[in-house]
Amino acid sequence: MSAIFSPSLMCMDLTHFREHIHILNTRADRYHVDVMDGHYVKNITLSPFFIEQLRKLTDKPIDVHLMAESPQEFLIDACIDAGASMVCLHPEVVQRDVFRIIRHIHQRDCEVGFVLNPATPIAVLDSYLHLIDRVTIMTIDPGFAGQPFIKEMLQKIKQVKEVKEKKGYSFSIEVDGSCNEHTFRQLAEAGNEIYIIGNSGLFGLHQQLDTAWETMKQLFSKETASIESH
């Protein structure tokens, strides 16, 4: 499987929103949108309104990462109505209603993923791994960009890959946090498939976004050239 790159739009320069989306539309595989409520994490970022504006400019898949204390149907539906292709949730806040929520999202013709914080074990997802479309492993604590990579998460990525292959599950594996030239090789070796690229992996590489993208791809190719594709 070829590597998939998903720019984290909370890291982009929003003063150049339209220009940068037009550039990314010819390069990115999909988009990553963080929606934070200020409660689950101490930060407030993007919103369903942002998703709606983004959808007007792209037909790429839009993955929404909901970091909200109570991400029940009203917020989930607001994101889907705005144009989300996938909604990714934290199991800690939806466990009580998890099967109903998964069913509801799929009934809306939207994919559903679950996000594992660094301290959250994969076993939390055991009962419904077969129902979901994505497992995202956080390699930093959620809430803020630019945090240092937590190397212990490489073992978790390997565990997720092993479970996927052993059980024959179809979910994709994604990493959120510090995907850059210093971690590309380790993440690829561990079995990652989708790279969420933010400040260190993309937007901070060059002032011109098209140049930053080419730099990112060159760095990724250099770091992973010797790894056999799986």
Of the residues 29, 63, 81, 176, only one is catalytic, namely 176
Burial class (CB in 10 A: 0-12, 13-18, 19+), 13: exposed
**Banded pLDDT at 145 (limits 50, 70, 90):** low
**Banded pLDDT at 40 (limits 50, 70, 90):** low
Structural domain total, the chain: 1
Mean pLDDT of 90-97: 92
Task: Give a yes or no: residue 122 inside a domain.
Answer: yes
pLDDT above 70 coverage of the chain, percent? 93
CB 61 within 8 Å of CB 33: no
pLDDT score for 228: 54
Task: Give a yes or no: residue 53 inside a domain.
Answer: yes
Active site residue 176: yes
DSSP H helical segments within 45-192, as ranges?
48-55, 73-82, 98-107, 153-167, 184-190
Task: Give a yes or no: residue 81 inside a domain.
Answer: yes
pLDDT score for 17: 97
**Residues 174-214 pLDDT 10s:** 999 999 999 999 999 999 999 999 999 999 999 999 999 99
Mean pLDDT of 3-26: 97
Judged against a pLDDT cut of 90, whether residue 4 lies above it is answered with yes
Residue stretches of the annotated binding site for a divalent metal cation: 32, 34, 65, 176
pTM over 0.85: yes
Residue stretches of the annotated binding site for substrate: 65, 143-146, 176-178
**Banded pLDDT at 105 (limits 50, 70, 90):** very high
Tell me the residue range of the domain where 215 lies: 4-224
Judged against a pLDDT cut of 60, whether residue 230 lies above it is answered with no
Mean pLDDT of 62-82: 89
Mean pLDDT, all residues of the chain: 93
Task: Give a yes or no: residue 229 inside a domain.
Answer: no
Mean pLDDT of 40-48: 79
Residue 155, CA distances (Å) to 44, 108, 121, 158, 225 in order: 30, 34, 11, 5, 22
Q: Which of 209, 216, 173, 212 is nearest to 191 (CA)?
A: 173
Mean pLDDT of 84-96: 94
DSSP 137-158: EESS-TT-TTPPP-TTHHHHHH
Active site residue 97: no
Task: Give a yes or no: residue 134 inside a domain.
Answer: yes
**Residues 108-143 pLDDT 10s:** 999 999 999 999 999 999 999 999 999 999 999 876
Single-letter amino acid code for the residue at 65: H
pLDDT score for 68: 82
Task: Give a yes or no: residue 230 inside a domain.
Answer: no
pLDDT score for 74: 85
Task: Give a yes or no: residue 103 inside a domain.
Answer: yes
Of the residues 13, 29, 34, 81, only one is catalytic, namely 34
Q: What is the CATH number of the domain that holds 200?
A: 3.20.20.70
pLDDT score for 38: 67
pLDDT score for 39: 62
pLDDT score for 151: 95
Q: Which of 80, 90, 73, 102 is nearest to 36 (CA)?
A: 90
Judged against a pLDDT cut of 50, whether residue 23 lies above it is answered with yes
